[in-house]
C-alpha cells in the first residue's frame, strides 16, 4: 500500500495514518520533515533508520508522549508502548500487579481485573508467573509483561521501540515470534523499531526513515538486502 491509501478510500482500514508530520527540538535541528506513512489494521511493520534519524521521536509522537507540532497523526484505536528497557516501564513488584496497574484508570471490578490480567498473561505465555517478582524475570519475560500490560488495556496498536536491544539472540527471536503471533491471532497492529536486520524476516512491511521522512518502504526482504549492503550491521 502507498501513502496515498487514505485518499484512495481505504482510510477506514488504516490503523496508523501519519501525514506530513514535522518535528523539531527547540535545542536543535528538525528531526522529522513532512514525514508520512500509513499502516493497515492487522499489519506487522518495522521501522529502520540510522541512530538519530527520528524513529523514537515518531513513535513517541504517535503515542502522544510528545506534543504534536505540525501534520496529522492518527491511530484507529488504543495504543500500547513497549520501551527498549523494560526496567523503565515495569513499576510494580510482581508480574500480576504490574499488568493490573495499567487498569487502575478503567474502574473495573476486582473480578474483571483478575480476568483481564489472566487473559493478557496467557496471551504472552506467562500465565503461571503471575506472582513472580519482576526482578526475578529474564529480559525477554519482562518485555512480555510489558506487552501483556498493553493487551490487558485492550490496546489495538503496539508501538515497540527496539524491544530486543537488550536481549540475547534466542530471546530476540522468541519475542519477535511472539509479537508476530499476537498480531495474527488477535488482529493487532504493530510498529516495531529495529536495527537488527534478522528481525525483518518476521514482519509484513518495512519503512526506512532518512532525512526526516520515509525514504523507502515495502518488502522487508528487499529492504534487508539494501541495508545489508549499506550502513547497518546485519545481526
Ligand X SMILES: Nc1ncnc2c1ncn2[C@@H]1O[C@H](COP(=O)(O)OP(=O)(O)OP(=O)(O)O)[C@@H](O)[C@H]1O
125, 85, 16, 219 alpha-carbon torsion, rounded to 10°: -80
Stretch 84-103: interaction string toward ligand X, x if CB under 6 A? --------------------
The region that residue 136 occupies, defined by phi over 0 for left and psi between -120 and 50 for alpha, beta otherwise, is alpha
* Distance between CA atoms of residues 2 and 110, nearest Å: 45
* 55 binds ligand X per the rule CB under 6 A: yes
Q: Which is nearer to ligand X, 52 or 78 (CB)?
A: 52
Q: Is 149 in the site for ligand X (CB under 6 A)?
A: no
Cβ-closest position to Mg ion: 56
User: Interacting stretch for ligand X, rule CB under 6 A, among 24-32, 104-112, 128-136, 183-191?
Assistant: 24-32
| Dihedral sign from CA coordinates of 150, 156, 161, 164 | positive
Contacts with Mg ion, 37-76, as mask; x by CB under 5 A? ------------------xx--------------------
211 binds ligand X (CB under 6 A): no
CA-based nearest residue to 209, from 194, 228, 221: 194
- Told to check if 57 binds ligand X by CB under 6 A, we report yes
Angle of helix 169-186 relative to helix 139-152, nearest 10 degrees, comes to 20
Binding residues for ligand X (CB under 6 A): 25, 27-28, 31, 49, 51-57
Amino acid at each position: 500500500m502507498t501513502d496515498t491509501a487514505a485518499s484512495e478510500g481505504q482510510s477506514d482500514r488504516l490503523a496508523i495514518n501519519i501525514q506530513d508530520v514535522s518535528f523539531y527540538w527547540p535545542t536543535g535541528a528538525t528531526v522529522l520533515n513532512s514525514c508520512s506513512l500509513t499502516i493497515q489494521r492487522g499489519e506487522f511493520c518495522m521501522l529502520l533508520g540510522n541512530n538519530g534519524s527520528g524513529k523514537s521521536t515518531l513513535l513517541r509522537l504517535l503515542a502522544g508522549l510528545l506534543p504534536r507540532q505540525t501534520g496529522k497523526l492518527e491511530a484507529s484505536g488504543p495504543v500500547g508502548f513497549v520501551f527498549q528497557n523494560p526496567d523503565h516501564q515495569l513499576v510494580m513488584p510482581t508480574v500480576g500487579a504490574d499488568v493490573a496497574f495499567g487498569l487502575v484508570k478503567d474502574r473495573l471490578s476486582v473480578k474483571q481485573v483478575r480476568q483481564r490480567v489472566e487473559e493478557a498473561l496467557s496471551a504472552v505465555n506467562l500465565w503461571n508467573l503471575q506472582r513472580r517478582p519482576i526482578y526475578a524475570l529474564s529480559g525477554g519475560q519482562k518485555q512480555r509483561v510489558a506487552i501483556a500490560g498493553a493487551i490487558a488495556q485492550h490496546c489495538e496498536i503496539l508501538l515497540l521501540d527496539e524491544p530486543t536491544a537488550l536481549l540475547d539472540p534466542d530471546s530476540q527471536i522468541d519475542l519477535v515470534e511472539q509479537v508476530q503471533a499476537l498480531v495474527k491471532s488477535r488482529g493487532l497492529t504493530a510498529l516495531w523499531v529495529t536495527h537488527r536486520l534478522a528481525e525483518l524476516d518476521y514482519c509484513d512491511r518495512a519503512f526506512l526513515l532518512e532525512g526526516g521522512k520515509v525514504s523507502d518502504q515495502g518488502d522487508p526482504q528487499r529492504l534487508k538486502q539494501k541495508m545489508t549492503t549499506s550502513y547497518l550491521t546485519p545481526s
